[in-house]
Amino acid sequence: MKTITILGATGSIGTSTLDLVEREPDRFEVVALTANSDVAGLSAAARRTGAKFAAIGDAALLGELRAALAGTGTEAGAGEGAVAEAASMGADWTMAAIVGAAGLRPTMRALEGGGTVALANKESLVCAGAVMTQAARRHGATLLPVDSEHNAIFQCYDHDAPERISRVILTASGGPFRTWTTEEMRSVPPERAVQHPNWSMGAKISIDSATLMNKGLELIEAHHLFPIGAERFEVLVHPQSVVHSMVEYVDGSVLAQLGTPDMRTPIAHTLAWPDRMETPCARLDLAKVGRLDFEAPDLGRFPALGLALAALKAGGARPAVLNAANEVAVAAFLGKRLGFLDIAAIVQEVLDDIDPPAPESLDDVFTVDALARAAAARRMERLAA
């Protein structure tokens, strides 16, 4: 039996993970589940899986969660501390699928437990890459990438001799506005921007996919997972989302991982690793797909990608500043307080505005995060004035 904890169990990645775990009750035993505010979703998942502990991020919801779990053997907890406690219960395998910087501390707690951490929360590596990977080494934890590109690279990578690799190519769908002009993007509402052509995902990552900031965050994430030098990473737009990424070797061989766009495939890879498990995912039918297209990304229409590339090259606190400003701007866009093009503009302005020293601990990362959020809020006030 493998013991399982899912951080962010009610989200897109969390529910896909539950779907797989619940298919094999003889193989997986659920220890803890967490959510931010969805008491109904969390308690239903805890009842179905017989989880030992369920934690809700919003401390005010403790009573409601307790009532929803009455008569079950599941203990209820609430607040940031309870989410961290869920991450610290020593599961063999933890899915880190909280969205945004809110996922950093729980992910760190899971790494400190020394088990396997399946990482979907890319913001953990973007904001605190060195701190996280050092902690994983120190505690003997295994970090397995869930993000489809990174999972593809992991499967194609020569882990024993990475010097044989000359290039890593991350594919990008191009998002819903791949063929749109800047003018057409200017007034697009959030309901349209969250409609991704290939993947069904949470709202924040869907907006990041539309601005291509997601690919920028993924470049930074990849650089921490596969430390062969930032200059070896490239982005290639591939609208069908069939080739999930590629690794090129010094002899010119290119290995790719392919599949239908269903996150349950990479999640299953990390869940069963180093073994494999069955999934209900649709099988790839290349005759039906017919053709695979590729094109270079357009940094002119999608400036967020360029900002992330610059932050990756500069290093230090720049990626954490980029991430925090982006989180604030995306939330404002989703709340209809900001236009689509303003997202990258705000991130650019915050990067111009502040340049804090490189963080050396998770506390330092949160200091940078708070500074950048405050700077983004100031910018938005000025925009609104």
Residues that bind Mg ion (CB under 5 A): 147-149
Q: Which is nearer to Mg ion, 221 or 342 (CB)?
A: 221
Contact status: 57 vs ligand NAD (CB under 6 A)? yes
Q: Angle formed by the axes of helices 340-353 and 318-334, to 10°?
A: 150
In this structure, are residues 124 and 114 in contact, taking their beta carbons and an 8 Å threshold? Answer: no
**Which of 105, 109, 122, 224 forms a contact with ligand NAD (CB under 6 A)?**
122
Q: Does 221 bind ligand NAD (CB under 6 A)?
A: no
How would you class 349 by CB atoms within 10 Å of its CB: exposed for 0-12, middle for 13-18, buried for 19 or more?
buried
Closer residue to Mg ion (CB): 295 or 352: 295
Under DSSP, the state recorded for 247 is E
Tokens of 205: 């990552």
Residue 14, binding choice from ligand NAD, Mg ion, none, Cβ under 5 to 8 Å by partner class: ligand NAD
> Using CB under 6 A, which of 118, 120, 343, 362 touches ligand NAD?
120
Cβ proximity to Mg ion: between 74 and 206 the closer is 206
Q: Kindly state the smallest distance separating residue 34's Cβ from Mg ion, in Å.
A: 22
Omega prior to 274 cis, within 30 of 0: yes
Q: State both tokens at 132.
A: 């996280």
H or E element at residue 142? strand 142-145
Instruction: Tell me how far, at minimum, the Cβ of 215 lies from ligand NAD, in Å.
Output: 11
Residue 318 binds which entry of ligand NAD, Mg ion, none, with Cβ cut-offs from 5 to 8 Å by kind? Answer: none
The region of 98-106, 244-252, 272-280, 333-341 touching ligand NAD under the rule CB under 6 A is 98-106
Q: Is 318 in the site for ligand NAD (CB under 6 A)?
A: no
Q: Within 103-189, where are the H helices?
A: 104-112, 122-138, 148-156, 182-186
For ligand NAD, the closer of residues 82 and 346 by Cβ is: 82
Q: Is 6 near ligand NAD (CB under 6 A)?
A: no
Interface with ligand NAD: number of residues (CB under 6 A) = 27
In the complex, what is the shortest distance from the CB of residue 344 to ligand NAD, in angstroms, rounded to a whole number? 18
Give the Cα-Cα-Cα angle 220, 224, 225 (nearest 5 degrees): 115
Q: Note whether 129 binds ligand NAD by CB under 6 A.
A: no
Listed residue (9, 61, 62) closest to 31, CA to CA: 9
Binding to ligand NAD (CB under 6 A) within 12-51 occurs at 12-14, 35-36, 38
Question: How far is CA 37 from its chain centroid?
Answer: 19
Q: Which of 131, 165, 185, 201 binds ligand NAD (CB under 6 A)?
A: 201
Cβ contact 55:32 at 8 Å: yes
Instruction: Pick the stretch among 84-92, 167-175, 201-209, 313-321 that binds ligand NAD (CB under 6 A).
Output: 201-209
Does 327 interact with ligand NAD (rule: CB under 6 A)?
A: no
Q: Is 35 left (phi over 0), alpha (psi -120 to 50) or beta?
A: beta
CB of 382 to ligand NAD, least distance (A): 27
Q: In what order do the strands lie in the sheet with 254-258?
A: 233-237, 165-172, 243-249, 254-258
Tell me the pairing of strands 254-258 and 243-249. Answer: antiparallel
Q: Which of 116, 162, 163 shows the shortest CA–CA distance to 140?
A: 116
Number of residues written out for the chain: 385
Q: Which of 54, 82, 99, 193 binds ligand NAD (CB under 6 A)?
A: 99
Instruction: Decide if 12 contacts 201 (C-beta within 8 A).
Output: yes
Nearer to ligand NAD, 147 or 369 (CB): 147
Element (DSSP H or E) covering residue 45 = helix 39-49
Stretch near ligand NAD under the rule CB under 6 A, chosen from 23-31, 97-105, 155-163, 222-230 = 97-105
Of 22-30, 66-74, 120-128, 375-383, the segment contacting ligand NAD by CB under 6 A is: 120-128
Q: What is the contact surface with ligand NAD in residues (CB under 6 A)?
A: 8-14, 35-36, 38, 57, 83, 97-99, 102, 120-123, 147, 199, 201-202, 204-205, 263
